[in-house]
Structure 1
Amino acid sequence: MTLGPAGALKYMLAPYGKGMLGKGSYSIVYRATEEGSGRTVAIKKSRVSNLVKRPTLRHEARLLELLKGQAAIPAVYGYGQLEHFEYMSMELLGSSVAELRKDDAGVTVKTVIRIMDQALAVLEHIHSLGIVHRDIKPENFLFALDDPSTIKLIDFGISKPFSRDKSTALKKYDPLKERRHIVGTLYWASLNSHNGEDLAPRDDIESLAFVGFFLLRGNLPWKPRPRMESQLRSQEIVRAMKAACSGPDLSAGFPKEFGELLTYSRSLAYDELPGHGALRKSFSSLADGLGLSLDGGPFDWTPCYPQTTNPIPDEPTVSVPDEDEDGGGDDGLGEDSYYGTDVDIWDRQGERDKDLTLPAEKEAELDSVIPLIEEVQRD
């Protein structure tokens, strides 16, 4: 039996507790077998009512279909909405960059350069098609199962089209005053996100710079926050720390190209597309100067323990009004800004942010080529 775009897909999930691959802020990922083809896939499952007009996984499936064709974009095989849940089947991938980094160690400069090169290539592809990812972090770079020299970028649930209209940049909010979470993941979010500004390609580049520093150093000056600290206090403290850290500060003891990446990202205007090619060339030249080959092959995850300096010796003091009303928080790692929103949606049957919506004609076009998932069973 052949299951193509015109046919419905059926999947058999592994027994409960054995097939779960991961759990995010709005979904759970399982290993499953596709009926008919026998293909092993990853099934992403998210709770959603049939009344919700912009379900998270439908949006993500559309974006993956729109972006397909670049080496770092995982394949999407199907989408379906059944009863109280929606499902997306996609390419099964391996470990993430975050998982392969050992303990609190750094990794080799060669490995980080290779990651930067592939990440910049996929971001150039995404940005050229008018999309900003908005949640760049080590957990979202996974390795292809059939090619350990290739990384894939995942989690497009809060990705969105970006506007080149400068007036959009003026529409901002005060996360502290309005008691709202920032967009993205606290540890990796750009300063613009902390300041409540609409995100653009420059912000993906800034988050990528943080990833590079983290891998080189084994740490960043803003540590994971105490679990019982309020989200607003965590946001303010991390914002102050990021603002105090320049590219040269964070790259002290490492090649200057990594610091220049952060400096460059912060110099871009809202409507300015990054020079991805020039950035890749900079890292390629760095590799040549160090006598490193960036050809394929498995990545080197040998632990490194560099002597790093902390440009922020003391934690900044911040004032958060009515902090007790915010309730207990957590470290913010692994969550995106739609965590609370999506839970809210399940309760009130409302709609997700309209800004995440692609043009109606593009959504219809993409929906017509994504096979439907008819049924998901457990063995």
Structure 2
Amino acid sequence: SSRDVIVGDQWLVLSRIGEGSFGEVFEVQDIDTLRLYAIKREPLDVRSPQLKHESIMYDILAGGRGIPQCQWYGEHDDFACIVIDLLGPSLRELHEAVSFISLDVIVQLGCQMISILEHIHRRGIVYRDVKPDNFLFPSSSATPMLSVVDFGLATWWRNPATNKPYPQSKRRIKNKTGTARYASLNVHRGKTHSRRDDIESLGYLLLDLILGSLPWTGIQARNSKAGWDRMKELKEETLLTDLCAGLPQGFLRFIDYARGLRFSDQPDYDYLRQLMRDSLDR
């Protein structure tokens, strides 16, 4: 605009850099240090507010590998806002920009994402929206170390007061959470999201990167429910041996392992990383 916008008496808004289902993102500059950050905003009157919850998630996960630091949460001009570390392009943007990603790069990125989810899970949280849009590279670095953003859908898998796991709900969940393309079979079937579902979703994300697409990519449906239902059918009908044909066995074993976990099981993250590394050796 024609005038400078300063949020929270500290953050000078420079330019808009993105927009998602839960708000707009702008690049901002700290007026004292001149360092660059990202600010995300959502209207205060939005039906299902996310940013206050997201700021709490960042605080709980602070210090973990791949977790950006939340610098500030507050309100400005009828918007809730959070300021986090400025990051670069996402895995989705990489996927769209190149026609081929080498196996060694996918294995490296896969191991990083496993470690990020391990930290999230160990803090008692399940992420619930594993997708390439939410894993970002640094804004400027020669080393492709991923970070994860967008914790609006994240929730507790265990009671933060007692550290005891919440029981699996016996009621079938009708309104699904997350992104259908990468959702686990258990989430499709209306079961409560748990750590195993983050891992299965990561398996689909890795296959998407290495194959270029998934059999259920691009499904056309009259509404969201029909789309979720059709993707569920395709995931149930597609044999893992066909889905992973021509790939190292580690990718098939990754998804097969995730599907075999029970609701309250803790995934074996070391085993999952080893499956990825073994894919290079074989």
Q: Same fold (TM over 0.5)?
A: yes
- Could you say which residue in structure 2 is the equivalent of 1:98? 92
Give the CA deviation at 1:277. 1.2
Q: 2:146 corresponds to which residue?
A: 151
Pick from 235, 239, 250: which aligns with 1:257? 250
- Report the counterpart of residue 21 of structure 2 in structure 1: 25
Matches within 5 A, 1:11-50: 11-14=11-14, 19-49=15-45
Measured after TM superposition, the shift of residue 100 of structure 1 is 1.1
Q: Which residue of 1 aligns with 2:192?
A: 198
SS at match of 2:181: coil
Distance in structure 1 (CA, Å) of the matches to 2:169 and 2:238: 23
Tell me if structure 2 keeps the 8 A contact 1:9–1:78. Answer: no
- What do residues 311-367 of structure 1 show as CA deviations (whole Å, max 9, x unaligned)? xxxxxxxxxxxxxxxxxxxxxxxxxxxxxxxxxxxxxxxxxxxxxxxxxxxxxxxxx
User: For the Cα contact (< 8 Å) 1:106–1:214, is it kept in 2?
Assistant: no
Distance 2:239 2:169 in 1: 23
Give RMSD over aligned pairs: 2.0
**TM-score, length-scaled by structure 2:** 0.89
The 10-residue stretch of structure 1 (185-194 or 258-267) with the greater mean CA deviation from structure 2: 185-194
Q: Quick one: which amino acid aligns to residue 152 of structure 1?
A: S
Per-residue Cα deviation, 1:245-286 (whole angstroms, up to 9, x for no partner)? 243222110111011111011100000010011111222233
Distance in 2, Cα, partners of 1:48 & 1:128 = 32
Please state if 1:68 is matched with 2:62.
yes
SS class of match (1:220): coil
SS at match of 1:45: strand
CA pair 101-239 structure 1, distance change in 2 beyond 3 A: same
Check conservation: 2:254, 2:275, Cα contact below 8 A: no
Structure 1 contact 104–218 (Cα < 8 Å) conserved: no
Q: Which residue of 1 aligns with 2:5?
A: none
Structure 1 stretches lacking a partner, 5+ long: 1-7, 291-379
Alignment of 1:233 with 2:226, yes or no, is yes
Letter in 2 for 1:161: W
Q: Distance in 1 between matches of 2:96 and 2:81?
A: 32
Question: Per-residue deviation at 1:103?
Answer: 5.7
* 1:31 aligned counterpart, secondary structure: strand
State yes or no: 1:281 paired with 2:274.
yes
CA distance 1:235–1:21, shift in 2 (3 Å): same
Equivalent-residue separation in structure 1 for 2:54 and 2:254 (angstroms)? 28
Aligned-pair CA distance for 1:121: 0.5
Match 1:126 to one of 120, 145, 169: 120
- Calculate the TM-score normalised by the size of structure 1: 0.67
The 5 Å alignment of 1:1-379 reads 10-14=10-14, 19-49=15-45, 55-102=49-96, 105-147=99-141, 148-163=143-158, 165=165, 167-173=167-173, 175=174, 180=175, 182-226=176-220, 229-287=222-280, 289=281
| Partners of 2:253 and 2:275 within 8 A in 1 | no
Give the 4+ runs in structure 1 shifted more than 3 A. 102-106, 163-167
Structure 2 gap ranges (5+): 1-7, 159-163
1:125, distance to aligned residue in structure 2 (A): 0.6
Distance 1:22 1:166 in 2: 35
Please tell me whether the aligned partners of residues 247 and 260 of structure 1 are also in contact (alpha carbons under 8 angstroms): no
Say how many residue pairs are matched. Answer: 269
Instruction: Decide whether the 8 Å contact of 1:21 with 1:30 is kept in 2.
Output: yes
Q: CA deviation at 1:69?
A: 1.4
Q: SS of the counterpart of 1:187? A: helix
Q: Mark the CA change 1:102 to 1:27 in structure 2 (over 3 Å): closer, same or farther.
A: closer
State the distance in 2 between where 1:165 and 1:91 align: 31
* In structure 1, distance between residues paired with 2:181 and 2:73: 31
Aligned partners of 1:169 and 1:276: how far apart in 2?
25
